[in-house]
Amino acid sequence: MSSNTNTQNNMRIYHRYLGFFLAGIMAVYAISGITLIFRDTDFLKSIKQVGKQVKPNLSSEELGRELRIRDLKVEKEEGDVVSFKQGTYNKTTGVANYQTKQMNPFIDKLQDLHKANTKSPLFYLNIFFGLSLFFFVVSAFYMFLPGTNTFKKGLYFTLAGLVLTLIMLFV
């Protein structure tokens, strides 16, 4: 029993101090995660005017690739000037003038936390953070003795959270 109590106390201590250590990181991840929800809207984005020299006589598909505009659709052509929703392209000179919507640079950096891959140094922070969150999952079950009402209620809440997640994923 002494060993079990000692393990439980140690898990509580680790849980507490790791929680304090990660409080700032969790706040940043929470804010960046919420902003990522709105990435397909104009919320928090500003309009930037762009002038770019590209090859002359490009098709609409090629122009879309060059300007990195998905599903670029030509609205009208007047002589050498091609108009599309975001701007214009001169077929003769190859000059494209268009607008892009860009995220605020600070928020863009925050969102990079969620979008980091193995080529980014943030990759290591993401691994550490993910492992820390998994530790929180495990250590939460050491907070209360298994026979208590609080522990049993905790298991019900855990089951409810798991079921809700599965419903949201598959329905």
Instruction: Dump pLDDT digits (tens) for 72-90.
Output: 999 999 999 999 999 999 9
Q: Does residue 4 have a pLDDT over 80?
A: no
d(CA 36, CA 33): 5
Among 79, 103, 127, the domain-final residue is 103
Task: Encode pLDDT of 134-149 as tens digits.
Answer: 999 999 999 888 999 9
Domain that holds residue 152: 2-40+110-170
Q: Are residues 117 and 67 in the same domain?
A: no
Q: What distance lies between CA 133 and its chain's CA centroid? A: 17
Q: 87 has which bridge partners?
A: 84, 98
- State whether residue 45 is helix, strand or coil: strand
Whether the pLDDT of residue 1 is over 60: the answer is: no
Count how many domains the chain has: 2
Query: What does pLDDT average to over the chain?
Result: 92
Q: How do residues 147-158 score in pLDDT, each as one tens digit?
A: 999 999 999 999
Residues 114 and 36 grouped into a single domain: yes
Q: What local confidence, expressed as pLDDT, does residue 101 receive?
A: 92
Q: Radius of gyration (Cα) for the chain, nearest Å?
A: 26
Three-state SS at 1: coil
Q: What value does the mean pLDDT take over residues 36-44?
A: 90
Residue 138 near residue 80, CB atoms below 8 Å: no
